Amino acid sequence: MALTLYMLRHGETLASASGGFCGLSDIDLTPEGYSMAQDFGVAYQSHSFEGVYVSPLLRARKTAEPLCIGQGIDMNLRSGLREVEFGAWEGMSAAVVKERYADDYSNWSSDAGWNAPTGGERGIDVARRALAVLDEIQQVHSSGDVLVVSHKATIRIMICTLLGIDLGGYRDRVGISVASLAVVTFERHGPRLDRLGDRAHLRPELRNRAGT
């Protein structure tokens, strides 16, 4: 049996609703975000996960919590799964960043793999730490389903790296909606993307909720 990763982005936060840059700011879920976490926990309550690996940031932990409590399974917190560090851009809107850091924003927009937000992380740096966690998972779990709860940019970067997609365009090539699920199976010929942007576990009013 193959190893399959279920990559879940955390539930809604004020930043994901507004589109502001939120990397290492340890913000909580909105009430709707908590409902998204509950919906996932209910939908997957009977699904057998061999392990659960979670970013240590609050919004990720609170998203994983209902499932972990329901199944009586421990979270494995890994700092390698945290969100991109946005540096000086943290908490700002894209419009403000474009005005204050025009050159850095232009470079980052054209190639986010090799260019960092002002004082932040490049995509390749995120890939290095996140893939170390995926390597650990593969060492511990040779088969079965493993849940990874992380963040928008980090999941995009992991998927691009696993599928051989140029990291420079990770922001343009892969869409990861809030509380959505991506599923990657490690087959004989390499990782295969089986699902992307899956929000079927959410109630309709949350599934169709706008946000970044």
How far is residue 104 CA from its own chain's centroid? 24
pLDDT at residue 61 in the model: 98
pLDDT in tens, the chain (212 residues): 799 999 999 999 999 988 899 999 999 999 999 999 999 999 999 999 999 999 999 999 999 999 999 999 999 999 999 999 999 999 999 999 999 999 999 999 999 999 999 999 999 999 999 999 999 999 999 999 999 999 999 999 999 999 999 999 899 999 999 999 999 999 988 999 999 999 999 999 999 888 77
pLDDT at residue 19 in the model: 87
3-class secondary-structure state, position 209: coil
pLDDT at residue 209 in the model: 86
| pTM of the predicted protein model | 0.96
User: Under CATH, which number does the domain 3-206 receive?
Assistant: 3.40.50.1240
Closest by Cα among 84, 27, 36, 79 to 208? 36
pLDDT at residue 1 in the model: 79
Q: In angstroms, rounded to a whole number, what is the distance separating the alpha carbons of residues 183 and 144?
A: 12
pLDDT at residue 212 in the model: 74
User: Do 153 and 170 form a contact (C-beta atoms < 8 A)?
Assistant: yes
pLDDT at residue 129 in the model: 98
User: Do 36 and 64 form a contact (C-beta atoms < 8 A)?
Assistant: no
Q: In angstroms, rounded to a whole number, what is the distance separating the alpha carbons of residues 36 and 199?
A: 10
**CA triple 75-122-148, angle to 5 deg:** 20
Place of tokens 């970044």: 212
